[in-house]
Amino acid sequence: MESEETPARWEGLPSWLLSQTAHHAHRLVSDGFSSVGARGYHYRLLATLEESGPASQAALGRRSGIHLSDMVATINELADRELVERAPDPSDRRRNIISLTSAGKRQLRRLEKRLAECQDELLAPLSPEERQRLAELLSRLRDHHDRRTRIPEEPGR
């Protein structure tokens, strides 16, 4: 009966546009990742591991922005597939030392490749200059709100 064209009133709101485009981006990326049997946390953890080298779960969580609670499952999943190794720290028995295996490194290469392809697909309708400007505007927004959000934590330390 109704023709279901819904130019809803919120369609133009910046917050809505952000949600929608982020949703599309997330779909692209997580489809890309899942085609290799991974998800976002896996990539973030593997990438952090390659940058930082072996480290404790807590340190990895801080660097990757993954919550400690979620690190456990993420590492379990990666360790099950031997992309990552969990070994007790001999110098601190509270800690596990997580390290990247060579299979993990190969997986990371695959994920990075997918990720790059996704960026291109995501930005397909924009020219190189427009992509640049978009990234710049988004960075400004993120930096602004990151500062508003982050814990003050005494800056002398």
Partner DNA sequence: GCCCAATGTTTGTATTCCTAACGTTTACCT
Partner DNA sequence: AGGTAAACGTTAGGAATACAAACATTGGGC
Per-residue interface string for the shown chain with its own copies, residues 69-108, x marking contact by CB under 8 A: ----------------------------------------
Q: Which residue has the tokens 């952090």?
A: 48
68 forms part of the interface with its own copies (CB under 8 A): no
Q: HSE of 101 in the Cβ direction (CA atoms, 13 Å)?
A: 14
User: In this structure, what are the phi and psi dihedrals at residue 136, rounded to the nearest 5 degrees?
Assistant: -70, -45
d(CA 107, CA 63): 20
The vertex-45 CA angle with 42 and 47, nearest 5°, equals 105
Per-residue interface string for the shown chain with DNA, residues 83-122, x marking contact by CB under 7 A: ---x--x-xxxxxx--------------------------
Catalog residues that contact its own copies under the rule CB under 8 A.
2, 4, 6, 8-10, 12-15, 17-29, 43-44, 47-48, 51-52, 55, 59, 62-65, 115, 118-119, 122-126, 130-131, 133-135, 137-146, 149
